[in-house]
Amino acid sequence: MSAAVTATYTADEMMAVAASRRLTDDNVCFVGIGLPSLAANLARHTHAPGCVLIYESGTIGAKPVELPLSIGDGELAETADAVVSVPEIFSYWLQSGRIDVGFLGAAQIDRHGNLNSTVIGPYEAPAVRLPGGGGAPEIALGVEHVFVLLRHSPRAFVEQLDFTTSLGDNLRVVITDLGLLERRDGELALVAVHPGVEVGDVLAATGWDLLVADDLGETEPPTDAELDALRALRTKGGG
Amino acid sequence: MSAAVTATYTADEMMAVAASRRLTDDNVCFVGIGLPSLAANLARHTHAPGCVLIYESGTIGAKPVELPLSIGDGELAETADAVVSVPEIFSYWLQSGRIDVGFLGAAQIDRHGNLNSTVIGPYEAPAVRLPGGGGAPEIALGVEHVFVLLRHSPRAFVEQLDFTTSLGDNLRVVITDLGLLERRDGELALVAVHPGVEVGDVLAATGWDLLVADDLGETEPPTDAELDALRALRTKGGG
Amino acid sequence: MATIAPLCDAVAEHVRDGDVVALEGFTHLIPHAAGHELIRQERRDLTLVRMTPDIVYDQLIGMGCAQKLVFSWGGNPGVGSLHRFRDAVEHGWPAPLELEEHSHAGMAAAYAAGAANLPFGVLRGYRGGDLPSRTRVERVTCPFTGEELAAVPAHRPDVGIIHAQQADRRGNVQLWGITGVQKEAVLASKRAIATVEEMVDELEPRPGCLVLPGWVLDAVCLAPHGAHPSYAHGYYERDNGFYVAWDEISRDRDTFLAWMRRHVVETADVESYRASLAEAVPA
Amino acid sequence: MATIAPLCDAVAEHVRDGDVVALEGFTHLIPHAAGHELIRQERRDLTLVRMTPDIVYDQLIGMGCAQKLVFSWGGNPGVGSLHRFRDAVEHGWPAPLELEEHSHAGMAAAYAAGAANLPFGVLRGYRGGDLPSRTRVERVTCPFTGEELAAVPAHRPDVGIIHAQQADRRGNVQLWGITGVQKEAVLASKRAIATVEEMVDELEPRPGCLVLPGWVLDAVCLAPHGAHPSYAHGYYERDNGFYVAWDEISRDRDTFLAWMRRHVVETADVESYRASLAEAVPA
């Protein structure tokens, strides 16, 4: 179903590359572990060496050589310009509006870009208790540009969230394993598909009638340079 | 008039010694520059080696060998257990109630132990503009025991303050160059005179009808050990 | 003033059934040894506070020590779910778990307010969404601008517990690397315990170090490797394999209980805990 | 992103007449060189913010740069009065000086609120006495406990100016020793300038160091001895003799003006300022 089947790169790699391309050299980026960390560090190692990475553990300007496995790896502290307390990261740095990009993931997203990372089912008696919001609710409203990384499936892209953890107001793009979604007239629309992905694949993997942009494009496949940098990072662990 | 005239020690030395005697080994003490710093360090070098000194510049557990000339001397940072920011000193350390003793000075004091360090004359058109409250207003209410160090004179011990900068609620003792004042039924009363000082000297130097405690005592003169420690500190500068 | 004491004595003296207890650590320096001692001493009805409850809280919950969890993110970092936490919330096993759920920013503000002896913390947060209706948050209005902001009640745990790299003989404690919210957790708490990797004669100041004077702590306990499977910057690495393994160990109730019995309940301290792990996984 | 620039250019570009300017430093690292540049460029109608205005603020006030002072303690530490400050308040010379007076705790809370992008700071303070009726303070009620606390409006200066020991080529700035309220002053301000003792290729992390990334600063300026007569930990000592001498220099208006002309107005930078002092006091 996803591009990974046919291509010489995986769907996760396509996601990471597509996400990294959204970062510019002067971004200050609030990064979570996993794909966001992979994407942000890929950007640092390719077109955006000046991009500042901030992890909620308090590391400002971290430049990990090896990808961190956890938000608080020692590597992050050792390579950071500054390490501050967790209360300070959320008050002086995030709340102050000094961070312009934030990556978020979620278990569910709706057509307005609102996110659920709290529960599946009713809050009082959930079918699945998820980890919870963590930094997401304030990141979602505290940065100018929210990038969401989320694999496409009808269980994730739902008509109705079971719980609204974070608001989609500042969401700029949703990067999935199938394509890219952006807001059109306040509602998420498919604006690009990854190479080898049919629009039908995306519609089938979305739990609501997904708008498709008139100017639908196709994502540039990862370049060799991007894949080399990406795989060099991954072999160093994590991602 | 003051003890300094006849004794082999100065009135300031008597004040510093009398103040140092009020500190115990388990006190955590908020210290200002000048006599309070001299008194607190004297205590550390004599009967209260464990007394913790905190300066508002952010130095916690400072152990200056040389007396600091300013609240922020490098010596304080170098000898401190920890150096924190000024906002943290006032929030996490003073406001939290973790400091039990605070020394204050002032330009004026009234019979209730309220202090003025703001203006002489009306606020809008003062005859003398004083430096202002600094840390005093919150120290006065934030520590359990306020010790005031103030030289006796009718200009300082007044019937009516020109401005109330800090409240006397937690004032435990006023140490002057003539004697000691403590609260009796809510009003300051003379409880001890320094050696060679007559009660009449104190009354003449006080701008209100000063109560004299029935159990009026006389301050023990400085011991040789106290004077030696004190002068060793002073020769190292400041105080 | 801190007494240098064995961990078992410190827990026995300072942590009581029904206490509100915060074992803090932001992926680094997580006080696992202290958590294990709470389990060995069978503390009950604890309200557990932590921004990022992970394996040690999963263990405390699964062993029935907790009646309430105050938190903002409860997962196995980089791995997935906390199965014991989920089982308690989803199925009430071994007991129902009451939740007071915040965002990280809210938890951080609540700790900072507690450390500053303020009854509430103010932040720009809890705007919209369903979380505000599920947690303790109110609105306050700025008396100067009229702006509305969120207020969270200060955290004032009965006991704050952290793990640090070093302590000196006077009980002054030093940690460095990622120091998270540990200062606030200690200063916000009525009583505080620190476990440390090492006792030294003199603390040598280091870049980024955080020093907590002995007089703000009640007990300092030597517990080398007391953060395992978390890490201690400058001492040992994070045991990432254990975090992955925990997913299997904790998935099934009986497997979990057997593991806890063998490696925690029936061990006396960090040393025997680690010895039991070494036996279990022969090199 | 910080540009590395000459101090005169940075002041010309970032500080305008009528601005609210905070030159911070708690006895250590006081940005005297930057203050002198404000005087040379004849900035007017400034609102000067600082917890502990001392000599450099006395100079700015006496030279007519300030129309308002927001402060908590204005004196010559260890010496006595600031005569120019007093003359302005007591006699309106060279111009009347409006005062917004706080306590240290209030100023610190106002800076911290500004740095956190909150409109107000909360503290236990301003209880009783005459200060509350003379400053900007309101009461807020805790929505959880009903307790009343003080609220101060956040400081949001147009320009924050600090002096630090070192900067690297990317404009990252590092200070150590007593770091006071400098981080808050920079982060609370719309624009920020740092003067430094030294430019280095790589900042070497040190115990107790505070690093401000270049991207939170607008300009970084090399100004060796730029804190004189204050000190720079690790570089030079506090010039206590100058603080004592200032009492005499500043007592009389004409003596003050003559001194300022010779040593500040007619000098170009820190180097020539120091040279002029050396001439004045031949060894």
> ipTM of the assembly?
0.96
| Residue D282 confidence (pLDDT) above 70 | no
Q: What is the pLDDT of residue B234?
A: 79
Shortest CB distance from D116 goes to which of A52, A60, A95?
A: A95
Q: Is residue C131 within 8 Å of C100, Cβ to Cβ?
A: no
Q: Which residue, among A13, A21, A14, has the nearest Cα to A40 in the 3D structure?
A: A21
Catalytic annotation, pick one of B13, B56, B75, B226: B56
- Cβ–Cβ < 8 Å for D253, D92: no
Within 8 A of C207 by CB-CB distance, chain D residues are: 205-207, 209
Tell the residue number behind the tokens 């700071």, with chain if given.
D121
Average pLDDT (D145-169) is 98
| pLDDT for the residue B68 | 74
Among B26, B52, B96, beta carbon nearest to C115: B96
**Residue B237: is its pLDDT beyond 90?**
no
Separation between Cα atoms, residue C95 and residue C48, nearest integer Å: 14
Q: Do chains C and B touch (3 or more CB pairs under 8 A)?
A: yes
CB-based contacts of D25: which residues, under 8 Å, 6+ apart?
A: D31, D162, D163, D180, D182, D227, D230
Report yes or no on chains B and A touching (3+ CB pairs under 8 A). no
**pLDDT tier for residue A76 given thresholds of 50, 70 and 90:** confident
d(CA D178, CA A220): 52
* Average of per-residue pLDDT values in chain D: 96
Contacts of residue B159, Cβ cutoff 8 Å, sequence gap at least 6:
B110, B111, B207, B208
pLDDT of B209 strictly over 80: yes
Nearest C-alpha in B relative to C189 = B96
**pLDDT at position B66:** 77
Sign of the alpha-carbon dihedral angle for D200, D205, D211, D213: positive
Establish whether B218 is a catalytic residue.
no
* pLDDT tens for each residue of A4-16: 444 599 999 999 9
Residue B226 host element (H or E)? helix B224-235
Kindly determine whether residue B92 and residue C183, on different chains, have CB atoms separated by under 8 Å: yes
Maximum CA extent, chain A? 49
Residue B1 reports pLDDT greater than 50: no
What is the distance of C-alpha D16 from the center of its chain?
16
Q: Chain D residue closest to A90 (CA)?
A: D116
Pick among C100, C120, C210, C233 to test the D interface (most D CBs inside 10 A): C120
- Classify burial at D257, counting beta carbons within 10 Å of its beta carbon; exposed 0-12, middle 13-18, buried 19 or more: middle
Dihedral sign of CA atoms C161, C165, C171, C172 in order: negative
**What is residue B67's predicted lDDT score, i.e. its pLDDT?**
79
CB distance C194 to C224 below 8 Å:
no
- CA dist D81 and D156 (Å) reads 28
DSSP D147-196: -EEEEEEPP--SEEEEEEEEEETT--EEE-S--TTHHHHHHHSSEEEEEE
Of the candidates D72, D88, D74, the one whose C-alpha atom is nearest the C-alpha of residue D134 is D72
* Average pLDDT rounded to a whole number, residues A78-102: 96
Average pLDDT, chain B: 92
Longest dimension (CA), chain B: 49
Mean pLDDT of the region D240-255: 97
Per-residue model confidence (pLDDT) at position D281: 67
Given phi > 0 = left and psi -120 to 50 = alpha, else beta, which region is D110?
alpha
Residue C38: the pLDDT is 98
pLDDT on residue A235? 67
Write the pLDDT tens digit of every residue in D175-225.
999 999 999 999 999 999 999 999 999 999 999 999 999 999 999 999 999
Task: Give pLDDT tens digits for B213-232.
Answer: 999 999 999 999 999 999 99
Confidence of residue C116 (pLDDT cuts 50, 70, 90): very high
Q: Do A123 and C134 form a contact (C-beta atoms < 8 A)?
A: yes
CA-to-CA distance for B176 and A73, rounded, in angstroms? 57
Neighbouring-strand partners of residue D151: D122, D138
Which residue has tokens 């300094």?
B4
Report chain B residues whose CB lies below 8 A from the CB of C210.
Answer: 82
In percent, how much of chain A has pLDDT > 70? 93
Contact residues for C278 (Cβ-Cβ < 8 A; gap 6+): none
Higher-pLDDT residue of A232 and B7 is A232
Q: Does B34 touch chain D (CB under 8 A)?
A: yes
On the question of pLDDT at B6 being above 70, the answer is no
Parallel, antiparallel, or unpaired: how do β-strands D159-168 and D173-175 relate? antiparallel
Which residues does C73 contact at the CB level (< 8 Å), separation at least 6? A131, A132, A133, A134, A135, C51, C52, C53, C104
Q: What is the pLDDT of residue A78?
A: 86
CB < 8 Å from C in window 55-74 of A: 56-59, 69-74
**Whole-number Å distance between alpha carbons of C54 and D125:** 39
* Interface size, chain B vs chain C, as Cβ–Cβ contacts under 8 Å: 31
Residue C223, judged by CB atoms within 10 A of its CB (0-12, 13-18, 19+), counts as buried
Q: Nearest by CB to B95, which of C117, C183, C184?
A: C117
Interface check B81 vs C, CB under 8 A:
yes
pLDDT band at C283 (very low <50, low <70, confident <90, very high): very low
* Band (C174; pLDDT cuts 50, 70, 90): very high
- Residues A168-189: pLDDT tens digits? 999 999 999 999 999 998 899 9
What pLDDT sits at residue B155?
A: 97
Cβ neighbourhood burial of C134 (10 Å; 0-12, 13-18, 19+): middle
pLDDT over threshold 70, residue C181? yes
A223 touching chain D per CB within 8 A: no
Q: Which residue of C has its CA nearest to B89?
A: C116
Amino acid at D128: G
Q: What is the mean pLDDT of residues A52-76?
A: 84
**What three-state secondary structure class fits D236?**
strand
Give me the DSSP letters along chain A: --GGGTSSS-HHHHHHHHHHHT--TT-EEEE-TTHHHHHHHHHHHTT-TTPEEEETTTEES---SSPPSSTT-HHHHHH-SEE--HHHIIIIIIITT---EEEE--SEE-TT--EE-SEES-SSS-SEE----TTHHHHHHHSSEEEEE----TTTB-SS-SS--B--TTEEEEE-SSEEEEEETTEEEEEEE-TT--HHHHHHT-SS--EEEEEEEEPPPPPHHHHHHHHHHHHTS--
Task: Give DSSP secondary structure letters for B140-187.
Answer: HHHSSEEEEE----TTTB-SS-SS--B--TTEEEEE-SSEEEEEETTE
**Contact with chain C for residue A94, Cβ under 8 A:** yes
Q: B34 or C37: which carries more pLDDT confidence?
A: C37
Do the Cβ atoms of D7 and D34 come closer than 8 Å? yes
- Answer whether residue C189 shows pLDDT above 70: yes
- Check the CA dihedral B190-B192-B197-B200 and report its sign: positive
Alpha-helix residue ranges (DSSP H) falling in chain D: 7-14, 32-40, 55-62, 83-91, 104-115, 182-188, 240-251, 253-260, 270-280
DSSP state of B76: H
Strands D191-200 and D219-222: parallel
Instruction: Give C89's pLDDT tier (boundaries 50, 70, 90).
Output: very high
Alpha-carbon gap, residue D6 to D13, rounded angstroms: 11
Mean pLDDT across the stretch C105-126?
Answer: 98
> What pLDDT sits at residue B71?
64
pLDDT score for B7: 52
Q: Amino acid identity of D37?
A: E
DSSP codes joined into one string, B104-141:
E--SEE-TT--EE-SEES-SSS-SEE----TTHHHHHH
Look at B34-48, B97-111, C166-180, C187-201 and tell me which has the smallest mean pLDDT. B34-48
* pLDDT band of B238, cuts 50, 70, 90: very low
Mention every residue, 6+ apart, whose C-beta is less than 8 A from residue C107.
C51, C70, C71, C72, C155, C181
User: What pLDDT, on the 0 to 100 scale, is given for residue B4?
Assistant: 44
Q: Which of C201, C140, C189, C202 is nearest to C160 (CA)?
A: C189
Number of residues assigned to chain B: 239
Chain D hits for B91, CB-CB cut-off 8 Å, are: 105, 108-109, 112, 123
Look at residue B72 in the predicted model and tell me its pLDDT: 67
Q: Estimate to the nearest angstrom the gap between the alpha carbon of B91 and the chain centroid.
A: 22
Q: Are B60 and B30 in contact (CB under 8 A)?
A: no
**Mean pLDDT score across all residues of chain C:** 96
| Residue A237 confidence (pLDDT) above 50 | no
Res. A1: pLDDT tops 70:
no
Q: Which of C19, C176, A108 is nearest to D205 (CA)?
A: C176
User: In terms of Cα–Cα distance, which of D273, D231, D227, D189 is closest to D34?
Assistant: D227
CB distance C119–D151 less than 8 Å?
no
Q: What is the mean pLDDT of residues D97-123?
A: 98
Average pLDDT over residues C246-270: 97
